[in-house]
Chains A and B, each alone.
Chain A
């Protein structure tokens, strides 16, 4: 009895986490299907761990525990593979962006005389009182960023 309490609570917690992340839109939809499926498999198994043994028997695995270990390992392997793929794709995308940025910078430098890095253009020539303060804050901002 003790065991099924532990597993069912864990199963529900995992499913809860997944649903909550989905609800807050922290998980992209493409992952949502995968994780929901996993959650829906895990949660009922938590309440009835003995189901595992019968499933394992049908699959020719000696015990339910081995089946869980095996399935878990395969799942983790696939997830890491997917992440490698995803990060390769992201790298290719950021590479393209970096090239784009450099191209735009080169275009800018060639078409217009670039503004000197530390020059602050006077904002407006009209009201002196407020403008001087704006100008100084801009300078400060730039220095702070530099």
Chain B
């Protein structure tokens, strides 16, 4: 319980046993009153064991589905166990859980709150095609949402009960689907999206790529994902389409 709300932190993890204990320890320390669900996305390492040892609830997928699949499972869990708020935090340690209270506060004004870099905090800078891709995504999504969204691909998010229900039934599994398409879908179904500036830390595991070719591929794929997100039919039976607009 945090301010009378039952909060579930969903941590999608795929072969993350290296940094997971630190991340979970930090979440436990910052948010002692929240439950943590680690979705083991078909890991072949000790991810599930590490998570269980840290006292988290563990849901193990039989094979790798990708972040979108792991997150829909998380939302289904949140719905079944009647949580009021679901927060997504990446397992690799780049999201600082001390920002969660800020996300929770902003949930009073929105259904979905995204923790965004470039929001005034932190010092991340991208160049070239990667930067164009980010500007394209944030430009289109800001326009749609009617508010400034600077970090379309942020996986640091909080959502309320209405959206938990929505995401439990519909959550895209494809590339960038867990961030871009899910956000666009929520906006198109009438949910309110806001962002809160956060500083992101360098990942503890894995490393970002800086190859220009990859950046071009990223730009192309991001454009395609955005196009599909805009033209695809969104679920018509959205439970609260008209309420929160």
> Which residues of chain A have a CB within 8 Å of any CB of chain B?
95, 98-99, 101-103, 105-106, 109-110
Measured in the bound complex, the distance between the Cα atoms of B40 and A101 in whole Å is 12
Measured in the bound complex, the distance between the Cα atoms of B80 and A28 in whole Å is 36
Other 19 A-B pairs with CB < 8 A, given A102-B39, A103-B77, A109-B57: A95-B65, A95-B173, A98-B62, A98-B69, A99-B61, A99-B65, A99-B69, A99-B73, A99-B76, A101-B61, A102-B59, A102-B62, A103-B80, A105-B59, A106-B37, A106-B58, A106-B59, A106-B77, A110-B57
> Which residues of chain B have a CB within 8 Å of any CB of chain A?
37, 39, 57-63, 65, 69, 72-73, 76-77, 80, 173
Mostly, the B contact residues are mixed
Q: What is the minimal beta-carbon distance from B83 to any residue of chain A, in angstroms?
A: 14
Q: What is the minimal beta-carbon distance from B44 to any residue of chain A, in angstroms?
A: 15
A95 x B69 contact (CB < 8 A): yes
Measured in the bound complex, the distance between the Cα atoms of B72 and A95 in whole Å is 10
Q: What is the minimal beta-carbon distance from B82 to any residue of chain A, in angstroms?
A: 14
Q: What is the minimal beta-carbon distance from A96 to any residue of chain B, in angstroms?
A: 9
Contacts of B80 in A (CB 8 A): 103
Mostly, the A contact residues are helix
Contacts of B73 in A (CB 8 A): 99, 102-103
Q: What is the minimal beta-carbon distance from B112 to any residue of chain A, in angstroms?
A: 21
Q: What is the minimal beta-carbon distance from A92 to any residue of chain B, in angstroms?
A: 8
Decide yes or no: A109 and B69 within 8 Å by CB, A95-B173, A98-B63 being known contacts.
Answer: no
B57 x A99 contact (CB < 8 A): no
Measured in the bound complex, the distance between the Cα atoms of B194 and A135 in whole Å is 60
A105 x B60 contact (CB < 8 A): yes
Q: What is the minimal beta-carbon distance from B106 to any residue of chain A, in angstroms?
A: 29
Q: What is the minimal beta-carbon distance from A124 to any residue of chain B, in angstroms?
A: 32
Contacts of A105 in B (CB 8 A): 59-60
Measured in the bound complex, the distance between the Cα atoms of B134 and A21 in whole Å is 52
Contacts of A98 in B (CB 8 A): 61-63, 65, 69
Shortest Cβ distance from B173 into A: residue: A95
Measured in the bound complex, the distance between the Cα atoms of B75 and A103 in whole Å is 11
Q: What is the minimal beta-carbon distance from B160 to any residue of chain A, in angstroms?
A: 21
Contacts of A101 in B (CB 8 A): 61-62
Measured in the bound complex, the distance between the Cα atoms of B55 and A109 in whole Å is 13
Measured in the bound complex, the distance between the Cα atoms of B40 and A103 in whole Å is 11
Rank and list the top 5 A-B pairs by shortest CB-CB distance, nearest first: A106-B59, A99-B73, A102-B59, A102-B61, A98-B61
